[in-house]
């Protein structure tokens, strides 16, 4: 009903706006004063976690994109190999697993059959399984050795938004926990990242407060034949997520690419006027990546693309090549998906609305897919 939507036209718009709160709630009470991180239900000892020599992340859809971001964070912080894999492919591939493998299953519903079957396969091979889940007592956390719940509240819209942001937070917490337990990060380093995470709800709010130009742009793009998304580093999974949202909601052809791969094929898709959304990494820290994507943006623009650039405030280098420039607050590189994803969610929801689609109940999709 309209009342349940709290004045919003559709649940997804409400859920997008709930993201600052959802992120804050997922961080709440997760660390003690001395910086120790507390997961919810951990039937794994610190020693078990010290014995881990490889991490596999399995998930589907949007949750898989959260896993892709986690890979960048976990390898950077924990210094052990981390692979991310679509749950539907995992067990049929006969992956190499044993008791020193940690499998992280990410699922909003906790009932996705592909993810559950991947988890069961991992357990049969004696791997340890940790679930990141939004639904208390659902099957995936019940069958896991440990659980970290995302606290975003029930997600009604079929397309995932606030669950995704809180999955990212949970992944960061798991990475920091592993790094801390294994002694690869000092408590004060962990504390620094936690403090940066605590700043994120306000930054997400800043993004939300500036979405009017994105809504206007959405109306303008509603008749596009196809929209491409490019990104580097953690901007790459964000590009994939932006494209997925557009497919799900607008029923429009959309594809995400690693910006560096453009020249190896996808650049042939660019026609005069093709919208290309570019997710630009921070100009600080990973400065090299910033230079590289700036030249990718020039390349697509030289071929006639209409560029929609998501960049960090103060990044002047991209401005001359952006037909539309959307600034997000300055953020440490690894945490940037918490802000760069938000305009892409709004864009997809508004394009879908402009096309007359039912944003909350897209055709052919289910909130939770309980068949393989």
Q: x-or-dash pattern for ligand G6P, window 63-102, by CB under 6 A? A: x---------------------------------------
Cα–Cα distance for residue pair 50/54, rounded to 1 Å: 11
Determine, following the binding rule CB under 6 A, whether residue 44 of this chain makes contact with ligand G6P: no
Task: List all residues 6 or more positions away from 82 whose beta carbon is below 8 Å from its beta carbon.
Answer: 54, 55, 56, 57, 70, 71, 74, 75
Q: CB nearest ligand G6P: which residue?
A: 61
Considering the complex, what minimum distance in angstroms separates the CB of residue 340 from ligand G6P? Answer: 18
Specify whether the CB–CB gap between 236 and 71 falls below 8 A.
Answer: no
Residue ranges with strand state E in 216-274: 226-231, 253-258
In this structure, are residues 304 and 275 in contact, taking their beta carbons and an 8 Å threshold? no
In contact, 233 and 72? CB cutoff 8 Å: yes
Would you tell me the crossing angle of helices 200-209 and 19-27 to the nearest 10 degrees?
180
| Contact call for residue 107 and ligand G6P (CB under 6 A) | yes
Catalytic residue among 123, 247, 292, 367, which? 367
148 in contact with ligand G6P (CB under 6 A)? no
CA 40, 117, 242: angle at the middle one, nearest 5? 75
224 binds ligand G6P (CB under 6 A): no
Among 108, 282, 290, 357, binds ligand G6P (CB under 6 A): 108
Q: Check binding of 345 to ligand G6P (CB under 6 A).
A: no
| List 88, 109, 139, 161, residue binding ligand G6P (CB under 6 A) | 109
For residue 325, the cross-strand partners are 309
16 binds ligand G6P (CB under 6 A): no
Task: Indicate whether 368 belongs to the interface with ligand G6P (CB under 6 A).
Answer: yes
245 is catalytic: no
Question: Is 160 a residue that touches ligand G6P (CB under 6 A)?
Answer: yes
Q: Decide: is 130 part of the binding site for ligand G6P (CB under 6 A).
A: no
Which residue's CB is nearer to ligand G6P, number 40 or number 220? Answer: 40
Give SS3 for 322. Answer: coil
Please list the active-site residues: 367
């Amino acid at each position: 009903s309209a009342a349940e939507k709290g004045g919003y036209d559709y649940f997804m718009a409400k859920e997008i706006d709930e993201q600052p709160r959802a992120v804050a709630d997922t961080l709440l009470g997760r660390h003690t004063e001395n910086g120790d991180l507390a997961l919810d239900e951990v039937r794994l000892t610190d020693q078990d976690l010290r014995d881990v020599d490889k991490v596999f992340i399995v998930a589907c859809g949007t949750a898989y994109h959260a896993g892709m971001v986690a890979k960048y964070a976990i390898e950077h912080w924990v210094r052990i190999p981390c692979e991310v894999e679509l749950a539907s492919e995992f067990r049929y591939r006969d992956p190499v697993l044993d008791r020193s493998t940690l499998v992280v299953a990410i699922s909003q519903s906790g009932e996705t059959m592909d993810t559950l079957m991947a988890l069961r396969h991992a357990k049969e091979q004696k791997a340890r399984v940790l679930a990141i889940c939004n639904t208390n007592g659902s099957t995936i956390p019940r069958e896991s050795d440990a659980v970290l719940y995302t606290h975003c509240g029930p997600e009604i819209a079929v397309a995932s938004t606030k669950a995704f942001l809180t999955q990212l937070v949970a992944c960061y917490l798991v990475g920091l926990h592993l790094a801390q337990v294994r002694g690869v990060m000092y408590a004060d380093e962990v504390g620094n990242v936690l403090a940066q995470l605590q700043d994120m709800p306000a930054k997400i709010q800043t993004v939300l407060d500036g979405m009017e130009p994105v809504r206007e742009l959405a109306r303008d793009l509603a008749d596009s034949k196809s929209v491409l998304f490019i990104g580097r580093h953690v901007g790459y999974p964000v590009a994939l997520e932006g494209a997925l949202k557009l497919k799900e909601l607008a029923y429009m052809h959309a594809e995400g690419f690693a910006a560096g791969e453009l020249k190896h094929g996808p650049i042939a898709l660019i026609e005069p006027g093709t919208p290309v959304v570019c997710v630009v990494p921070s100009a600080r820290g990973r400065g090299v990546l910033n230079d590289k994507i700036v030249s990718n943006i020039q390349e697509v623009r030289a071929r006639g693309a209409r560029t929609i650039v998501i960049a960090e405030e103060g990044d002047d280098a991209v401005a001359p090549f952006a037909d539309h420039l959307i600034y997000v607050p300055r953020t440490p590189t690894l945490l940037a998906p918490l802000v760069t994803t938000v305009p892409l969610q709004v864009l997809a929801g508004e394009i879908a609305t402009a096309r007359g689609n039912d944003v909350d109940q897209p055709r052919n999709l289910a909130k939770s897919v309980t068949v393989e």
